[in-house]
Amino acid sequence: MSVTAFSTFTIWLIKTVKSAVGKTTYSALLFVLHKNITDVIYIHVPFCLRRCIYCDFYSTTYSTHIRQKYVESLCCELVNRQSYLPSKTIRTIYFGGGTPSQLTIEEIEKILHCIRTHYDVIQDAEITFEANPDDINEKFASELRRIGINRVSLGVQTFNNQLLTILRRRHSAEQAQNAVSVLQKEGIRNISIDLIYGLPNQSVEMFKHDLEIAFSLPIQHLSSYALSVEEGTALHRMIESKELKPVDEDIFIEEYNLLMTAAESAGFTHYEISNFALPRFESKHNSAYWNETPYLGCGPGAHSFDGKSRRFNLPNVITYNEQPGEPAYETEELTAENKFNERLFTSLRTRCGLDINKLQEDFPALWVDNLKTAAQSHLANKRMEFRGKNLCLTKQGIFVSDDIISDLMV
């Protein structure tokens, strides 16, 4: 599939977005993924002590002065952009990175205070904080809860120490398991972890062991992504130089099958291609992206969407700090074709699938008719199915989702 068929946002979303139904009915899932979740705020914290070999998100090393100045500039941007969103009612806040846990509690609290002062944050807002496992201790976890963080996402990636070393992760497998226990002990009741499959030197048995450990822990959510080799990363250079060997596609498929089976056995709903949750613990913030909800992204490299166009802050913390509250940015006006293709991509990644009736309301009839025609072969070979009036991928279809979506695009 050519990435030129997608907007810049969709390419970003492909990189980002980190089945047992149990007691959650299809209708409940539909409510979670398709209700109007207006509006949401994303905070990009660009700081890392060192870069992992696979990462191509904007991040940088830093001094205390740069970090403190960043927090000041971020608060200025939050104040100056109050009119960006259609509504100032905020249902989710997400601290991503980079490594948000490189901020001090005082800095995190200052950012949250700024948001609460200038926006209407609902009482039960989902407030997610990404953290490295080795940054979590009892005091830090307790303080996160005190200032209002109610969901923590840990960048575990694997519980194998040899693989963690290859990835240049700072934590150990033991620290990752301990971080989950500490968060639970200190009252964080919504814990998510990230795992990567298809890692160099990772056997199927290693990933199976990762899953066994993950589902033995008191977590409520799991995001698991296939390793993506992006140009410009250390991983890409290591594969090009033959220092590391890329994983065969058959291994990816086998590990993903293990993932789906293990999640189902643990009672987790497979509600999006890469995301699994216990009932009622689906990520509200990520669901907003899939639902075309307006969101405000602040910080260097952050993306925003006001319902009409997308905005991209330039990824440079130095220039960001030099222009507090007025960061340099680019914008992208979406064509009707872009919007149609994004709708396909985001909707078909979810269990709820693509609402054909809504598609007919929003786009030319010819496009929808062509989609229905193109979908017939995938329905016939059981790679797609209808759930009610929604067109969805089956388990078999997930493995060739890129090809299917490419077939359906305008």
Quick one: which H or E segment has residue 329?
strand 329-333
Both tokens of residue 117?
Answer: 């002062």
Tell me: the pLDDT tens digits for 18-68? 322 233 333 333 333 434 445 899 999 999 887 776 777 677 777 899 999
Selected residue with higher pLDDT from 314 and 231: 314
- pLDDT for 13: 44
Yes or no: domain 8-290 corresponds to CATH 3.80.30.20: yes
For residue 14, pLDDT over 60 is answered with no
Order of strands across the sheet that contains 354-355:
354-355, 390-393, 384-387
Kindly indicate the confidence band of residue 233, based on its pLDDT and cuts at 50, 70 and 90: confident
- pLDDT for 214: 99
For range 304-308, the mean pLDDT: 88
Kindly indicate the confidence band of residue 231, based on its pLDDT and cuts at 50, 70 and 90: confident
- pLDDT for 60: 73
Kindly indicate the confidence band of residue 312, based on its pLDDT and cuts at 50, 70 and 90: very high
Torsion of CA 264, 269, 271, 275, to 10 degrees: -70
Judge whether 32 and 271 are in contact, CB under 8 Å. Answer: yes
Q: Which residue bears the tokens 């001090």?
A: 104
Tell me: the pLDDT tens digits for 212-222? 999 999 999 99
Sequence spans of domains, the chain: 8-290
For residue 364, pLDDT over 60 is answered with yes
Judge whether 222 and 276 are in contact, CB under 8 Å. Answer: yes
Residues in the chain: 410
Of 145, 71, 140, 143, which Cα lies nearest the Cα of 111?
71
For range 203-232, the mean pLDDT: 94
Of 106, 107, 96, which Cα lies nearest the Cα of 45?
96
For residue 3, pLDDT over 50 is answered with no
- pLDDT for 48: 87
**What residues contact residue 86 under an 8 Å CB cut-off, 6+ apart?**
38, 39, 294, 306, 307
Torsion of CA 15, 151, 299, 157, to 10 degrees: -40
Where does 119-227 have alpha helices with state H? Answer: 138-146, 161-167, 173-185, 204-216
Of 95-99, 288-292, 320-324, the one with minimum mean pLDDT is 288-292
Of 76, 92, 78, 89, which Cα lies nearest the Cα of 41?
92
Both tokens of residue 159?
Answer: 């519980």
Tell me: the pLDDT tens digits for 155-202? 999 999 999 998 888 999 999 999 999 999 999 999 999 999 999 989
pTM (predicted TM-score): 0.88
Of 147, 72, 71, 150, which Cα lies nearest the Cα of 116?
147
- pLDDT for 238: 83
In 253-377, where do the E strands start and end? Answer: 269-272, 275-277, 295-298, 303-305, 309-313, 329-333, 354-355
For 201: left if phi > 0, alpha if psi spans -120 to 50, otherwise beta; the answer is left
For residue 91, pLDDT over 80 is answered with yes
Quick one: which H or E segment has residue 112?
helix 105-118
Of 46, 130, 154, 119, which Cα lies nearest the Cα of 294?
119
The interaxial angle of helices 401-408 and 365-380, nearest 10 deg, is 150
